[in-house]
Amino acid sequence: YQYPFMFGLIVASCWCSLVCCSRIYMGMHSILDVIAGFLYAILILVVFHPVVDQIDNFNLTYKYAPLIIISLHLALGIFSFTLDTWSTSRGDTAQILGCGAGVACGSHVNYIMGLKLDPPPETLPLSLSSLTVTVFGKAILRLLIGVIVLLLTKVAMKKATIPLACKIFRIPHDDVRKARQRMEVELPYRYITYGMVGFSLMFIVPCLFHFIGLS
């Protein structure tokens, strides 16, 4: 959508500041951690922004893209899990990687099936339409349905992956919280669960909206 540059800059700055401050307030990171993360994000943006279209095209069109995406994200997850003691950052990392892989695979399936869920490039940028009761009600309904589907997906995959991982690696699951701290359980649980959440977000939920006329 077309919106004023200053509006976008203010929103982005406020959002970034809230995220950074919340990490310090919650005791999850130090000020130095936040500064380093901010600078690292800028570095990633500088490196990948010129080739983001090529990467996106590869994810959508290459036949074996889902296999490469899943393998790469799993490898990054395993690499990041090499810690001496359990930490919440391990689960968060697997969660982010799984969600990213699910989103990329969902986009690939949309493209392969010819589902045009996005407006054509020549129609962009879109202009903001006037806010009516119908538009607002439709947006709220989409939000509620989408959140419910994603929550159900998360609960179902959590119920399935934790006992399965415990059974495969022969880990007692009487204490689920303790079992989840084991790398053998946490990696597949987080990765598969949030991978399916990302896939549902990009493929299942939009298809559902299209089917019930909420696109």
| Segment 28-64, tens digit of pLDDT | 889 999 999 999 999 999 999 999 989 999 999 999 9
Can you tell me whether residue 27 is helix, strand or coil?
Answer: coil
Indicate if the pLDDT at residue 130 is higher than 90.
no
Rounded distance, CA 131 to CA 180, Å?
45
Q: What is the pLDDT of residue 73?
A: 86
pLDDT at 105: 94
Percentage, residues of the chain above pLDDT 70? 95
82 pLDDT exceeds 80? no
CB distance 183 to 81 below 8 Å: yes
Of 52, 73, 64, 55, residue with least CA distance to 112: 64
- Kindly give the residue spans of alpha helices, DSSP state H, lying in the chain: 5-25, 31-48, 52-61, 65-80, 88-112, 133-168, 176-180, 183-199, 205-212
Query: Would you kindly state where each structural domain of the chain is located, as residue ranges?
Result: 1-49, 52-212
Sequential DSSP letters for 43-89: HHHHHHGGGHHHHHHHHHH-TTHHHHHHHHHHHHHHHHT--SS--HH
pTM reported for the whole predicted model: 0.82
pLDDT of 14 over the 90 cut: yes
d(CA 137, CA 56): 33
**What's the Cα-to-Cα distance from 214 to each of 40, 81, 138, 141, rounded to whole Å?**
39, 41, 7, 8
Report yes or no: 171 and 182 within 8 Å, Cβ to Cβ: yes
Six token digits for residue 157: 């995959």
What is the per-residue pLDDT for 54? Answer: 92
With a cut of 90, say whether residue 199 has pLDDT above it.
Answer: yes
pLDDT for 84? 64
Say what the pLDDT of residue 117 is.
66
> Are the CB atoms for 149 and 180 separated by under 8 Å?
no
SS3 state at 188: helix
Share of the chain above pLDDT 90, in %: 51
Q: What is the pLDDT of residue 81?
A: 61
- Per the CB < 8 A criterion, the answer to whether 128 and 2 are in contact is yes
